[in-house]
Amino acid sequence: MADILDTDIKFLKGIGPKRAELLEKNLGIRTYRDMLYHFPTSYVDRSTVWRIADFAGSDMPSVQVKGRFVSLTVQGEGARARLVGLFSDGSGVMEVVWFKRIRAMREHYLTSTDYVVFGKPTQFNGRWSMVHPEVDPPGATAAQIESRGVYPLTEQLRNRGFSSRTFSVAAQDILSAMRSVDETLPPSIIASLGLMGLGEALRVIHNPPTPAQLERARLRMKFEELFYLQLDIQSRSRHRHAATQGFYFPRIGQYFNTFYSEFLPFPLTGAQKRVIREIRADMATGRQMNRLLQGDVGSGKTLVALLTMLIALDNGTQACLMAPTEILATQHYETISQLVAPLGINVKLLTGSTRKKARDVIHTQLQDGSLHILIGTHAVIEDKVKFKNLGFIVIDEQHRFGVAQRARLWGKNSILPHVLVMTATPIPRTLAMTVYGDLDVSVIDELPPGRKPVQTLLRYDEDRFATYQGIGRQLRLGRQVYIVYPLIDENEKLDLRSLEEGYDTIRETFRDYRVAYVHGRMKPEEKDYQMGLFASGETHILVSTTVIEVGVNVPNATTMVIENAERFGLSQLHQLRGRVGRGGEQSYCVLMTKRNIARDTRKRLELMTRTTDGFVIAEADMQMRGPGDIEGTQQSGLPFSLNIANLATDGQIVQMARDKAVEVLDADPLLATSEGVLMRRQLSRLISRTRDWSRIS
Ligand code: ADP
Ligand code: MG
């Protein structure tokens, strides 16, 4: 029997082919079902009617006002034309302004008729106004008005006259036409977790009778989403584990043992040892390893990478380490080639700027097997680069690389090499569980001994003198200093100027010291040269943009000043700060900001002064910004996008969904029972309907 929810949305009253096309283009809504799964993100409190006289402050919530238009006039011409209504509720008058669809609005609204106007009041030239509010028709009943959800919309839809109201009405129409609905979760799960049924949940979510019922309806819909997400992740991961043959590395041999007993520069931390054991165990199963190594900045991931590469060498294969920037690749190359020099291991560096001659040597040696370890940027995944026998790949700072690039490296061998992805961006557990669901995760949760946590200060621009004094003290102690400026695209010119001015000021203030200067628009060679001078201690101060953000290691640098700190996100500040505190000396990070900053921004900066724990910071970052913004999660490729669940705040439901998915797959690995078939059908339905949410405003 045909399911009414599969009906094309164009057949819905008031939609038609044109609007249907817009809906599909903007929100991927094609069917009645899609429409019902386009959930309100919040609900308007329609129990309160505001008085215009009571409007106050700079950040009013969206409110409703009841009254009449005193006048409606078109002002301005051409592109500047707008419709301005004076709206009075008896307590005061505000302006209601439309910039789009002016004619239609002018004809639509009448003076001396009561309307309920809903929107966010702002103050402009001493007068309150609402731009493009929702206006309920004179005849709207209380019930119609009250249960209104706020639906996510795009700018284009808004301009074409769609409003939350359109969605609300459409959902109601579908719900009243719908007699029953096929459950999307197996009855056994609904029963065991006491979830609300699908039909009821959909009704409640678009039209909540009480907050308690709404809560249960949302839980049900979130669980549904997260459960299928986990089911997909878990089953793929099981499949991969069972199916993917990998190199079998049974031996710990000469290279590893000699290095470990004779050339290890310092004893490993407990966490480093544990992670190496985990990797060794993976490599000895005969299945391909796919492991994510999370370790805060400075936790010593490089050494873990090296030791595990030696295991690959001991088993007769080659290893490759890929880093996101030339500077980082070079630094890895220098560290690693120095460490293994006594072992007679052939290590080479391949980046975009490697000369042809050196490149040819690398190509030849890779193919005849005499090159053991290749370190480089994404130049290592070019098609020309062919290994004789690549057994192990380490990818550093993974969020800079896309999944597609990873896949390319894998494709270089008939047997898939083991893969270790290293990241310093600590990802909260529930997010890792989802985003990296098919990777195994190792964590270095311990810093090398003797590290003192970086002391972080928040300072206002007018107290710059105190900052300079601090810099002076550190320089006199023989330490080095980073000064970081933001550089973001929209404002590139302006930013470059403030960077240059900063550079001049610093040079004049610290005449006895040498100052290097780096930004992203320099030629790579020039950048590397300047960075090199700082890394070797020849220059004392490095004035730069965020190009130093990732991985650079200069232990003698003890102070970092971050200018315009208010313009950075938490995770980025944490990454930057990780450049200091890498030696045994007490290090400092000074966050400079103007005095007038938004409350959220201040909270963010104050958190930085209180903790150096990357996980605490990542968690807070995710709470403040939502998981979509966490670096690396956009390209991580969830199999379908989430309409209602939030990985940042729904951690408990993620856990619940995961447990259930594991239970289901343990009992019915092939999803072959009748409930299994139901779940498979729902899963493929979800996966085929992937939406692009990036345009939602
Ligand atoms: P990250 O995890 O940020 O990549 P690195 O691998 O660059 O960190 O290591 C940071 C610093 O700590 C380096 O100077 C490295 O030599 C040092 N280090 C690494 N492991 C240890 C250890 N077990 N004991 C002392 N210092 C260590
Ligand atoms: Mg590193």
Own/partner pairs, 681-688, CB within 8 angstroms, 24+ separation: 682/184, 682/185, 682/228, 683/228, 683/231, 683/232, 686/228, 686/639, 686/640, 687/232, 687/639, 687/640
- pLDDT tens per residue, range 22-54: 999 988 899 999 999 999 988 876 667 889 999
Does ligand 1 lie within 6 Å of residue 572's CB atom?
no
The token pair that represents 320 in the structure block: 């490759």
Q: Give me the pLDDT at residue 338, please.
A: 94
CA 454, 458, 463, 466: dihedral to nearest 10 degrees?
-10
What are the C-alpha distances in Å from 277 to residues 57, 247, 443, 548? Answer: 59, 17, 12, 32
Does ligand 1 lie within 6 Å of residue 264's CB atom?
no
Instruction: State yes or no: pLDDT of 457 exceeds 90.
Output: yes
Q: Give me the pLDDT at residue 695, please.
A: 35
For residue 665, name the pLDDT band (cuts at 50, 70, 90): very high
Q: Give me the pLDDT at residue 473, please.
A: 96
CA distance 178 to 188: 24
For residue 146, name the pLDDT band (cuts at 50, 70, 90): low
Instruction: State yes or no: pLDDT of 413 exceeds 80.
Output: no
Does ligand 1 lie within 6 Å of residue 266's CB atom?
yes
Which residue shows structure tokens 């669809």? Answer: 101
Does ligand 1 lie within 6 Å of residue 679's CB atom?
no
Q: Give me the pLDDT at residue 409, please.
A: 63
pLDDT, greater one: 306 or 398: 306
> pTM of the predicted model, to two decimals?
0.66
pLDDT, greater one: 240 or 550: 240
**Distance (Å) from CA 301 to ligand 2 centroid:** 6
Ligand nearest to the backbone CA of 397: 2
User: Cβ(435)–Cβ(567) under 8 Å?
Assistant: no
Does ligand 1 lie within 6 Å of residue 297's CB atom?
yes
- pLDDT tens per residue, range 241-269: 676 788 999 989 999 999 999 999 999 99
Does ligand 1 lie within 6 Å of residue 269's CB atom?
yes
Minimum mean pLDDT range among 186-195, 536-545, 597-606, 645-654? 645-654
Q: If DSSP states are collapsed to H, E and C, what string results for 57-126?
A: CCCCCCEEEEEEEEEEEEECCHHHCEEEEEEECCCCEEEEEECCCHHHHHHHCCECCCEEEEECCEEECC
Closest ligand 1 atom to residue 578 Cα is 3
Instruction: State yes or no: pLDDT of 506 exceeds 50.
Output: yes
- pLDDT tens per residue, range 308-336: 999 999 999 999 999 987 878 988 999 99
Closest ligand 1 atom to residue 267 Cα is 23
Q: Give me the pLDDT at residue 549, please.
A: 54
Percent of the chain with pLDDT over 90: 48
Instruction: State yes or no: pLDDT of 696 exceeds 90.
Output: no
CA distance 510 to 480: 12
Q: Which residues are within 8 A (CB) of 602 and not within 5 positions of it... i.e. 6 or more apart?
A: none
For residue 410, name the pLDDT band (cuts at 50, 70, 90): low
**Distance (Å) from CA 302 to ligand 2 centroid:** 6
Q: Give me the pLDDT at residue 628, please.
A: 52
Q: Mean of the pLDDT values across residues 419-442?
A: 75
For residue 692, name the pLDDT band (cuts at 50, 70, 90): very low
| Ligand 1 binding pocket mutation candidate from 263, 293, 303, 422 (most atoms within 8 A of CB) | 303
**Distance (Å) from CA 448 to ligand 2 centroid:** 14
Q: Residue 442: helix, strand or coil by DSSP?
A: strand
**Distance (Å) from CA 295 to ligand 2 centroid:** 9
Closest ligand 1 atom to residue 302 Cα is 6
Closest ligand 1 atom to residue 269 Cα is 23
For residue 393, name the pLDDT band (cuts at 50, 70, 90): very high
Q: Mean of the pLDDT values across residues 428-448?
A: 76
**Residue nearest atom 25 of ligand 1, based on CA coordinates:** 448
- pLDDT tens per residue, range 364-380: 999 999 999 999 998 99
Does ligand 1 lie within 6 Å of residue 272's CB atom?
yes
Does ligand 1 lie within 6 Å of residue 301's CB atom?
yes
| Ligand 1 binding pocket mutation candidate from 292, 293, 301, 302 (most atoms within 8 A of CB) | 302
Closest ligand 1 atom to residue 295 Cα is 2
Instruction: State yes or no: pLDDT of 182 exceeds 80.
Output: yes
**Residue nearest atom 18 of ligand 1, based on CA coordinates:** 300
Neighbours of ion ligand 2 (CB under 5 A): 551
Does ligand 1 lie within 6 Å of residue 424's CB atom?
yes
CA distance 510 to 71: 65
Q: Give me the pLDDT at residue 140, please.
A: 63
Q: Give me the pLDDT at residue 636, please.
A: 46
For residue 509, name the pLDDT band (cuts at 50, 70, 90): very high
**Distance (Å) from CA 328 to ligand 1 centroid:** 14
Closest ligand 1 atom to residue 553 Cα is 7
Name the most confidently modeled range: 133-147, 196-210, 427-441, 591-605.
196-210
Buried b / exposed e over 421-441, threshold 16 CB at 10 Å, is bbbbbbbbbbbbbbbbbbbeb
For residue 686, name the pLDDT band (cuts at 50, 70, 90): confident
Query: CA end-to-end span of the chain, whole Å?
Result: 38
- Going by the DSSP 8-state scheme, the letter that residue 381 receives in this structure is G
Instruction: State yes or no: pLDDT of 494 exceeds 90.
Output: no
- pLDDT tens per residue, range 516-537: 888 877 887 788 788 888 988 9
Does ligand 1 lie within 6 Å of residue 556's CB atom?
no
Closest ligand 1 atom to residue 303 Cα is 6
Q: Give me the pLDDT at residue 163, please.
A: 84
User: Cβ(294)–Cβ(439) under 8 Å?
Assistant: no
Does ligand 1 lie within 6 Å of residue 165's CB atom?
no
For residue 147, name the pLDDT band (cuts at 50, 70, 90): low
Does ligand 1 lie within 6 Å of residue 302's CB atom?
yes
Q: Across all residues in the chain, what is the average pLDDT?
A: 86
- pLDDT tens per residue, range 56-67: 887 787 788 989
Closest ligand 1 atom to residue 301 Cα is 2
**Residue nearest atom 1 of ligand 1, based on CA coordinates:** 298
Q: Mean of the pLDDT values across residues 193-203?
A: 96
Q: Mean of the pLDDT values across residues 566-582?
A: 87
**Residue nearest atom 9 of ligand 1, based on CA coordinates:** 300
Q: Mean of the pLDDT values across residues 667-692?
A: 85
The token pair that represents 255 in the structure block: 């290279």
Does ligand 1 lie within 6 Å of residue 268's CB atom?
yes
**Distance (Å) from CA 564 to ligand 2 centroid:** 25
